[in-house]
């Protein structure tokens, strides 16, 4: 996986955290930068940490699945992307609160980073530089989460569904590209 693809994966993964950050910003009466940084740190650390766990799980079992790893990568990314697209179409409004206590943020960070675990497994199959990948994913997530809080505080709900939809499409396209490359079909 090249640098551009890692950046796209990072953006795709960060769309869930961006959407939740928009909700957190929306619930703030006045922009609170300390809370915004705490939110961004939780999301950035979890989105960077989960692929590491997935990577080590994937490398442990890579010998068993090496011949079908491209299919696994495609299926995982397609499922994650499809779920994000589905969630972007739902009208359900998430419960909003501006709390940034440990319990609230751990639950939110864990819930939004489960897909990053699956991407980490994919990274192991593709022999991706995990250090570079998690650094990029963590920085992108931190930045987009911080922006999300500000956007939510300023503009409200308008961008949440669009962010999830965009992230889902990006992950599906990357999964399809991986599959087509391994099948010998040339993709730019």
Alpha carbon distance 97, 113 (integer Å): 20
Q: Are 69 and 62 in contact (CB under 8 A)?
A: yes
Buried b / exposed e over 133-168, threshold 16 CB at 10 Å, is bbebbbbbbbebbbbbbbbbbeeeeebbbebbbbbb
Q: Are 26 and 152 in contact (CB under 8 A)?
A: yes
Please state the domain count of the chain: 1
- Given a cut of 70, is residue 159 above it in pLDDT? no
- Given a cut of 90, is residue 33 above it in pLDDT? yes
Alpha carbon distance 147, 140 (integer Å): 10
The better pLDDT of the pair 162, 113 is held by 113
For 33, 47, 68, 167, the CA distances from 147, given in Å and listed in that order, are 11, 16, 38, 16
Domain annotation covers residue 101: yes
Alpha carbon distance 101, 67 (integer Å): 45
Alpha carbon distance 116, 46 (integer Å): 9
Q: Each residue of 166-188: pLDDT tens digit?
A: 767 877 887 787 788 778 786 55
Range of the domain at 8: 3-182
Residue 114: what pLDDT? 81
> Percent of the chain, pLDDT > 90?
32
Residue 43: what pLDDT? 97
Residue 153: what pLDDT? 84
Domain annotation covers residue 188: no
- Given a cut of 70, is residue 94 above it in pLDDT? no
Residue 50: what pLDDT? 94
Alpha carbon distance 154, 106 (integer Å): 25
Confidence band (pLDDT; 50, 70, 90) for 142?
Answer: very high
Tell me the whole-structure pTM to 2 decimals. 0.73
Number of H helices, E strands in the chain: 6, 0
Q: Each residue of 37-87: pLDDT tens digit?
A: 999 999 999 999 999 999 998 888 767 766 776 787 788 778 877 877 887
């Amino acid at each position: 996986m090249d640098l551009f693809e890692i950046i796209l994966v990072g953006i795709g993964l960060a769309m869930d955290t961006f959407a939740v950050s928009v909700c957190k910003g929306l619930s703030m009466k006045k922009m609170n930068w300390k809370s915004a940084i705490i939110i961004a740190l939780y999301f950035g650390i979890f989105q960077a940490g989960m692929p590491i766990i997935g990577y080590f799980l994937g490398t442990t079992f890579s010998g068993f699945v090496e011949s079908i790893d491209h299919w696994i990568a495609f299926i995982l990314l397609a499922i994650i992307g499809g779920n994000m697209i589905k969630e972007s179409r739902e009208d359900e409004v998430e419960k909003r609160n501006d709390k940034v206590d440990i319990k609230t943020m751990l639950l939110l960070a864990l819930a939004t980073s489960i897909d990053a675990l699956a991407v980490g497994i994919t990274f192991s199959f593709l022999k991706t530089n995990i250090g570079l990948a998690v650094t990029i994913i963590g920085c992108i997530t931190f930045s987009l989460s911080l922006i999300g809080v500000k956007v939510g505080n300023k503009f409200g709900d308008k961008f949440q569904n669009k962010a999830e939809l965009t992230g889902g499409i990006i992950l599906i396209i990357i999964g399809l590209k991986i599959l087509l490359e391994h099948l010998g079909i040339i993709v730019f």
